[in-house]
Amino acid sequence: MPAASTSLFRTALQAARDAAGSQDYPQGTLYVVATPIGNLADVTLRALHVLELADAVACEDTRHTQSLLRAYGIDRKGSQLLAVHQHNEAEAAQMVVARLAQGERIAYVSDAGTPGVSDPGARLAAAVRAAGHRVLPLPGASSVTTLLSAAGLVAADSDDYSAFVFAGFLPTKATERDGAIQRLAQEPRAVVLLEAPHRIEAVARALAVLGERRVTLGRELTKQFEEIETVPAAQLSEWLAAKEQRTRGEFALVLHPSASRDGTADEGERVLRLLLPELPVKTAVRLAAEISGAPRNALYERALQLKEADAG
């Protein structure tokens, strides 16, 4: 973060004091604070005020958070930053609870975005609520809603806005990931995924089984080199490979709603055609039926026809 950021945000910090300072901020409360996912200007005025007001800031990475606070002109001693991350969340939560019991205000931030959404924070919030203290959320940036807002999702069989499912990160092991994708293929609603740069190519290859189902990919959202693109799942690997930088950065993906169930038979044959060259007939039929929802007997008959045509 550039050192010049502090001077740039001086007026924002004063605006935060003016706009949010007169509101009520009860003591003995955990403030769950959303922070920008890339663009520093996406911080909210209330977030700035609470980060300055709180007795301590619990955070996923103290060095990252210290840099973030300094960029906004907020000065915090090292002792006022409490490490609460994936590996110590359970025990660190008890430390936070003890401080809340003394009437302190504690703000919690993850490295970027909204805590507790594929980031640490859920166990902390649960422990604080279980101890009888208040958890007060300060909404703000989220890669999930950021990409959804640009994906243009409409329900497949109506003019209604589409519902969505948040699946987060897929399993890292290939067999488990393939199984998860097979289950997602049967989900008619939109599905939001998150992924890291070192796994995005493997995920793209695995998603190819979804064929023509559209995928909107967001790379480096809100940052200078942000890219948002919608392609069929079968072409996602090709799109990533077209430019070297496309595999860099953090990723969010949206699987668009599946086609209307009226197209189940066509979808079953499409999947079957993809699987038959690689797998035995019975295995290809079973997987095609699970993925598309098409009747297994009909797929088996069609598989025999396709095999016979290829042999001829």
Lowest mean pLDDT among 3-7, 21-25, 27-31, 284-288: 3-7
- CA 281 to chain CA mean position, Å: 37
Write down the mean pLDDT value for the chain. 90
Computed from CA positions of residues 200, 202, 207, 211, in that sequence, does the dihedral angle turn out positive or negative? positive
CA distance 192 to 218: 11
Alpha helix ranges (H) inside 200-295:
200-207, 236-241, 264-275, 281-292
Contacts of 219 (CB under 8 A, 6+ apart): 225, 226, 227, 228, 246, 248, 249, 250, 251
Q: Write out the E strands in 27-138.
A: 29-33, 56-59, 81-83, 106-109, 134-138
CA distance 312 to 309: 5
* Global confidence as pTM: 0.80
Q: Which tokens go with 266? A: 């066509």
The predicted pLDDT at position 66 comes to: 96
- CA 278 to chain CA mean position, Å: 32
- CA 95 to chain CA mean position, Å: 28
| Average pLDDT of the segment spanning 196-216 | 94
DSSP letter (8 states) at residue 283: H
The pLDDT > 90 percentage for the chain reads 74
DSSP β-ladder status, 227-232 and 164-169: unpaired
CA distance 275 to 136: 50
pLDDT digits (tens, 9 = 90+) for 15-39: 999 999 999 999 999 999 999 999 9
Alpha helix ranges (H) inside 82-153:
89-101, 122-130, 143-151
| Residue 20 DSSP SS3 | helix
Closest listed residue to residue 162, CA positions, set 230, 260, 250, 233:
260
The predicted pLDDT at position 259 comes to: 62
| Amino acid at residue number 16 | A
pLDDT band at 261 (very low <50, low <70, confident <90, very high): very low
